[in-house]
Structure 1
């Protein structure tokens, strides 16, 4: 058996039991692994459905242009379908999304326009507004509008919901889903509740989003809106695909908890899932008291971890945001393990001979070079040796004639892994900027000393 094209492989994703990460939960927890879709996310389902429905309704014509505001996953689904069907794609997205998402979209020939995150949806610079403007300006174009296009909910009502029902043999008691456009929980949830009205649908929200308060009070509170890091869930408006009557409860999860739990899923379950999956598990653990041994919970793992290699799976990125404080050495701890040393520099108009004498007298192997109190380069034993070998008279020349690029600068929270990767034949040390913007230097010997102490 074979498929006629890659679009026929969308859906029928596996359901996998979680063991270690949910050991505190009394219920059985199963994850619907949507990363097995060709675009590695659940959005492939609704992206194809929106295109098929638009074609049938005459909104999308041969040779047309698909326009959409997307954080990446819907764009991927649309781009894959467009490649097969012969459409052009233009996507608008926000600057908070990971670079990997942009690169993936461009790999399928899509044009990507990056817009600012921290603006109102109606602001002409927002990715919603830019997408709407492009649809008006470009002939034979169609805006998918995943937020308000009910083909989104339809795809999950006709596909995701029935799959879950059949895979659990109708035993599911709870569906837990991250809510962004709302199509997954609204579609799958509606189908499941039609089969069994007692099934609970829990939506995972993030701080900075309006969903939870609106569900509980009916009030759209703009004071709830502020920037957040978690990707794929939460919104600052109410998409038409969010059917609040289907969703029994919203649980908010912090950016930190979502990011760290994303990593835990990979470490403990061997499942390389995306940021929203971390938020879902963190939210489920917050609600564990409401579950019993007789419950069967299905969580949706929306997308793949490769979308987040530069973010949630990057320790330096986590440290910069204060999310990760672990036992690994950092620039701060390396400096703390040695006696305080004032960084020695040398002026660029000094001679090479003066540099040699300084290195010799202080028993060091490199010197940052300064000009007008600014670091402009470096000079090392290796630099001097290479030049002397070719021209012994170079000792009377100014250092500026043979200096090389300055050492890389890192901050105090930079990990030893990152520092080590920066030290090579060209850079035998790194400089560290402390809280007072003063610079210190870390050499290979400092790293060896810190590790061995």
Structure 2
């Protein structure tokens, strides 16, 4: 006699896991352990490229737009204008298309081409500012042009560098970190541009009771932390000579500042890609570079988080293009080998620690 297996009844969710808008997908980004040491200190990456538009800045773009609606600065059918190197622009473009606004991005040739293409794909109007023969971002001129458009047309100008709702957009990020970990965030490291992602996250972490130590990272050539101005190729972080540093860079919440050159930042990003299969942006490479060099000096069992603010897929024709790097003197095989050796040293320290435990039982 053949006995038939019972047919399983279909199980349905009480609530479907479906959203109506892309902006509903913002947040809940994952943490990836990049490496750890034999002392139990670990380095985690907060992968913000898993947000819609592939960037953390969509968090603050949403917050600034929603606050402008509440205050009456943005009305139905309104116009938004903002100078941007790309990530804020794609975030604003997403919010504009969802909520029925026109968006104009003032850009220059320093922005990654894929960021410009993404803004156009989302319906943004691009106005390009001529950088002349300079390889530096035209931040001052972009701001002037955006201000002129806002004055002439009545458009809403978020002013991401000074808008207080920039940092507020990262409150959820802080909550996610504490929710996803069974411990505190001992060290938070992030690139500094407008200041919103690092400072906003740190402020909220501390409000929630964290004793986090914050390290801000900028490119060599940026003037945010008082360094000598100069050319740099890391896009979306730092501040060039002559550009006023905005109010969202809250020096009071940054415990330590560092500068990383383009060569080391890009070399680190490239090594991370080869080791993990995850492409990170060049400024994230700079922040990871700082973290990797610090791990060995930190107390045992520390949890270090680096904010990876955007996706490396936006830099395939720059950071991940060897010809582009060579043409600008930014490709250094020795720099990549140094980063690879750091990873190897941490792996060896874990092996030795495991051997000690096996021998002693402690």
TM-score by length of 1: 0.65
SS of residue paired to 1:67: strand
Aligned to 2:262: 255
Aligned to 2:184: 171
1:7 and 2:23 are equivalent in the alignment: yes
Deviation at 1:184, TM superposition (A): 0.9
SS of residue paired to 2:326: helix
8 Å Cα contact 1:25-1:291 kept in structure 2? no
Once the two structures are superposed, the pairs formed by residues 209-228 of structure 1 within 5 Å of their partners are: 209-213=222-226, 224-228=228-232
The separation in 2 between residues aligned to 1:298 and 1:258, in whole angstroms, is 17
Aligned to 1:334: none
Give deviations 1:24-53, integer Å, cap 9, x for gaps: 996211111111111110001000000000
The separation in 2 between residues aligned to 1:321 and 1:273, in whole angstroms, is 20
Deviation at 1:165, TM superposition (A): 1.3
Gaps of 5+ in 2: 1-15, 335-362
Aligned to 2:200: 187
SS of residue paired to 2:231: coil
8 Å Cα contact 2:184-2:210 kept in structure 1? no
The separation in 1 between residues aligned to 2:329 and 2:89, in whole angstroms, is 31
SS of residue paired to 1:303: coil
Aligned to 2:237: 233
8 Å Cα contact 1:25-1:285 kept in structure 2? no
The separation in 2 between residues aligned to 1:159 and 1:192, in whole angstroms, is 10
8 Å Cα contact 1:26-1:288 kept in structure 2? no
Q: CA RMSD in A?
A: 2.0
The separation in 1 between residues aligned to 2:50 and 2:108, in whole angstroms, is 26
Give deviations 1:262-283, integer Å, cap 9, x for gaps: 1111111121111111111112
Aligned to 1:89: 103
8 Å Cα contact 2:267-2:332 kept in structure 1? no
Larger Rg: 1
1:66 and 2:70 are equivalent in the alignment: no
TM-score by length of 2: 0.81
Structure of greater relative contact order (alpha carbons < 8 Å, 6+ residues apart) = 2
When residues 101 and 119 of structure 1 are mapped into structure 2, their CA distance, relative to the original with a 3 A threshold, is closer
When residues 121 and 108 of structure 1 are mapped into structure 2, their CA distance, relative to the original with a 3 A threshold, is closer
Deviation at 1:211, TM superposition (A): 2.2
Deviation at 1:196, TM superposition (A): 3.8
The separation in 2 between residues aligned to 1:260 and 1:204, in whole angstroms, is 16
8 Å Cα contact 1:211-1:250 kept in structure 2? no
Once the two structures are superposed, the pairs formed by residues 109-124 of structure 1 within 5 Å of their partners are: 109-115=123-129, 116=131, 118=136, 122=140
SS of residue paired to 1:142: coil
Aligned to 1:155: 169
Give deviations 1:219-255, integer Å, cap 9, x for gaps: xx7xx22221111211133111111111000111001
The separation in 1 between residues aligned to 2:168 and 2:262, in whole angstroms, is 30
Once the two structures are superposed, the pairs formed by residues 9-48 of structure 1 within 5 Å of their partners are: 9-19=25-35, 27-48=41-62
When residues 133 and 51 of structure 1 are mapped into structure 2, their CA distance, relative to the original with a 3 A threshold, is same
When residues 170 and 289 of structure 1 are mapped into structure 2, their CA distance, relative to the original with a 3 A threshold, is closer
8 Å Cα contact 1:65-1:142 kept in structure 2? yes
Pick the aligned partner of 1:52 from 66, 87, 92.
66
Once the two structures are superposed, the pairs formed by residues 397-412 of structure 1 within 5 Å of their partners are: none
Gaps of 5+ in 1: 214-220, 328-453
Give deviations 1:111-140, integer Å, cap 9, x for gaps: 112222648755xxx11111111101124x
SS of residue paired to 2:325: helix
SS of residue paired to 2:249: coil
Pick the aligned partner of 2:302 from 270, 273, 295.
295
The separation in 1 between residues aligned to 2:224 and 2:315, in whole angstroms, is 24
When residues 24 and 253 of structure 1 are mapped into structure 2, their CA distance, relative to the original with a 3 A threshold, is farther
The separation in 1 between residues aligned to 2:233 and 2:38, in whole angstroms, is 27
Pick the aligned partner of 1:320 from 315, 327, 331.
327
Deviation at 1:13, TM superposition (A): 0.7
SS of residue paired to 1:311: coil
The separation in 2 between residues aligned to 1:49 and 1:322, in whole angstroms, is 39
The separation in 1 between residues aligned to 2:137 and 2:317, in whole angstroms, is 24
SS of residue paired to 2:111: coil
8 Å Cα contact 1:79-1:89 kept in structure 2? yes
Aligned residues: 311
When residues 267 and 121 of structure 1 are mapped into structure 2, their CA distance, relative to the original with a 3 A threshold, is closer
When residues 196 and 306 of structure 1 are mapped into structure 2, their CA distance, relative to the original with a 3 A threshold, is same
The separation in 2 between residues aligned to 1:171 and 1:113, in whole angstroms, is 44
